[in-house]
Chain A
Amino acid sequence: MVRRLPEYLTIWVPLLLSAAHLVSFSLWTIWISFTPSTLVPVSGWVGLRNYTSVLASRNWQIAFDNLLLFGSAFVLLSLVTGLTLAILLDQRIRGENVLRSIFLYPLAVSFVVTGTVWSWLLNPGIGIQKLVHDFGWTSFRFDWLIDRDMAIWTIVIAAIWQSSGFAMALFLAGLRSVDADLIKAAQIDGAGPVRMYRRVILPTLWPITITVIVIQLQFAISTFDLVRALTNGGPGIATQLPALVVYDLMFQRNLLGRGAAAAVLMLLILLSVLLPYAAWQYLQQRRAPHA
């Protein structure tokens, strides 16, 4: 027993530390969300008061509406972009490796970096609008970054640019693993390329599509760095997102109880995506036990 102590320690200490921090930190944050904590955590019980005040705040409501818009627009458009890129690259074209690297490189770079660069390009005073003006087309307008109603779309643009490559990579892997016999059979039946994609190949991709949707949604829900670098939630609070609200409540307004409540709300939004996905995966595995 003593002789095997180093072995037990090596196996258990890292795993236990990791598991314990996940469980205890979650419970800890949930507990704080029910206390009247402000600058420091205090014990006490305020029931759901933190939750009701977060939900009633304009900050959160705007953040939640933005998340719905940003989440659905970003997921949908990055799916379309990713799938289009994958189908184009799947045509056995030359230079596929170089092209794939180009579409994926944004993923290797920090959101702080890409957000900063996009903030220049989209800034009407120094970016694309200024360039077009200098060319002589002075009535050209592209000022979404400072437009309250359109600013959220700048985040959609940057996010699509940054992570469509990821959807492309997964779709391309899916396209490459379509059963060759299936394609041959369809060719013998005289199916053209368009028909082939619509009827034969794309239907096999839907499990991958769901995976891509879930992962991109997970990214959308926790988006923080990108907004921080691109708009910092502005103009005003027009591009506020839940992760920014949490940070603002916890560290700028020192309302720890409300900040924790907002974090738990974020977790609930995430679970509303992940739990159905987990259930779906579980059913898939039960239905095809040998797959």
Chain B
Amino acid sequence: MLIYLVVSLIAAAWLVPLIVVVLNSLRSNEEIVQTSMIGWPRQWAFGNYLTAWSDFCLAQTCVGIRPYMLNSALVTIPATIFSTLLGAVAGYAVSLWRFRGDNWIYGIVTLGIFLPQQMRLLPWTIVLRDTGLMNTLTGLVLIHTIQGLSFTVLFCRNYYVAIPQELIRAARIDGAGFFRIFWRIILPLSPPILVVTVIWQFTHIWNEFLYGVTFTTGQQQPVTAALIALSAAVADIPHHGVQSAAVMIAALPTLLIYLIGGKYFVRGLTAGAVK
């Protein structure tokens, strides 16, 4: 019984931050100012969500968090789809199709998992400036697609190496080409790894902050950058209730994905570690 007590206490501590945000998002600003950030709502202030979504002001523009959520979606969804599809094809190519130099190129691509973002900040700045993609969502999609490949190729390649080479050989003898084999044999076997890859990419791109804040400004920023801007604004005029609602809205997409596909999320987490 002691063990249940201990585990429940730790679990409760782990939930405190989440509970605090949820409760605060339903308390009025006056109430929070009078007491503290930790407390039960005396009056349910559901209006905080409406204000956070479409009303509050950030640098003189009063449009709420909605446009920034849209920006994040417009970056995350295409970049997730592109990097996953390209990663699946490339993973298939290096694991089953085999071509000269495949191990070399695969080795270099996966080094990208370790290379710090800081080593790529300046070159991306220059590339985006020269291609006119600075401060555009397209620029962020491009960055996340190319950088995401390091992870997606690793995930897919490690999954595909378990497929017997004979299957591919037999299909080739029957006259099937690269794309036909991918479409007819590889893709039908892929749903488990594609789910892991999509969840991983979506979570990471949605939560990314450094590139968002460096390469976009104002109305083009993703929601993580907008939250930091909001924190700075709240330091002047306390609006913690609305801010909590904004934080909840921004965290909701990845939290929902985690709730629905937690198993696959954890698989992605450990896949990188236990190579």
Contact = CB atoms under 8 A, between A and B. Distances in A.
A78 interface: no
A215 B115 CA distance: 13
Contacts of B77: none
> Interface size for chain B: under 10, 10 to 19, 20 to 34, or 35 or more residues?
35 or more
B63 interface: no
A19 B121 CA distance: 16
Interface in B85-106: 86-87, 89-90, 93-94, 97, 99, 105-106
B178 interface: yes
A91 interface: yes
A229 B243 CA distance: 13
Contacts of B255: 105, 108-109
A77 interface: no
B146 A111 contact: no
A41 B37 CA distance: 46
Given A105-B255, A108-B254, A228-B209, A120 B119 contact: no
Contacts of A29: 119-123
A143 to B, nearest CB: 14
A291 to B, nearest CB: 13
Contacts of A19: 105, 108-109
Contacts of A6: 179
Contacts, number: 240
Nearest to A130: B36
A109 to B, nearest CB: 5
A110 B262 contact: no
Contact of B149 (A14, A128, A211, A264): A14
Nearest to A33: B122
Contacts of B86: 14
Contact of B15 (A102, A131, A169): A102
B165 interface: no
A110 B122 contact: no
Nearest to A246: B118
A201 interface: no
Contacts of B38: 121, 127-128, 131
Given A99-B7, A109-B255, A134-B35, A118 B224 contact: no
A229 B20 CA distance: 17
Interface string B20-37: 110010000000100111
Given A11-B90, A108-B203, A112-B209, A270 B114 contact: yes
B227 A113 contact: yes
Contact of B37 (A21, A99, A104, A120): A120
A228 B124 contact: no
Nearest to B254: A108
B118 A103 contact: no
Contacts of B108: 18-19, 22-23
Contacts of B115: 22, 26, 267
Interface in A121-143: 121, 123, 126-128, 130-131, 134
What secondary structure prevails in chain B residues at the interface with A? helix
Nearest to A108: B258
B208 to A, nearest CB: 8
A4 B37 CA distance: 63
B112 A22 contact: yes
B14 to A, nearest CB: 5
Contacts of B274: 170, 173, 211
B176 interface: no
A17 interface: yes
Interface string B212-234: 00100000000010011001000
Contacts of A101: 258-259, 262
Contacts of B121: 29, 246-247, 250, 263
Contacts of A128: 38
Nearest to B82: A14
Given A7-B177, A14-B90, A93-B4, A103 B11 contact: yes
A104 B114 CA distance: 22
Interface stretch (B46-54, B167-175, B186-194, B265-273): B265-273
A104 B258 CA distance: 9
B210 A225 contact: yes
List 10 A-B pairs, minimum CB-CB distance, nearest first.
A110-B207, A108-B258, A130-B36, A25-B123, A263-B118, A19-B108, A18-B149, A7-B178, A14-B86, A225-B209
13 contacts: A6-B179, A15-B153, A18-B147, A21-B147, A28-B126, A105-B258, A107-B269, A111-B207, A113-B251, A116-B231, A121-B20, A127-B36, A131-B37
Given A19-B105, A121-B37, A246-B121, 18 more contacts: A11-B89, A14-B149, A15-B106, A15-B149, A21-B120, A22-B108, A41-B126, A88-B6, A101-B259, A103-B14, A108-B203, A108-B254, A112-B228, A113-B250, A117-B17, A170-B270, A218-B114, A247-B210
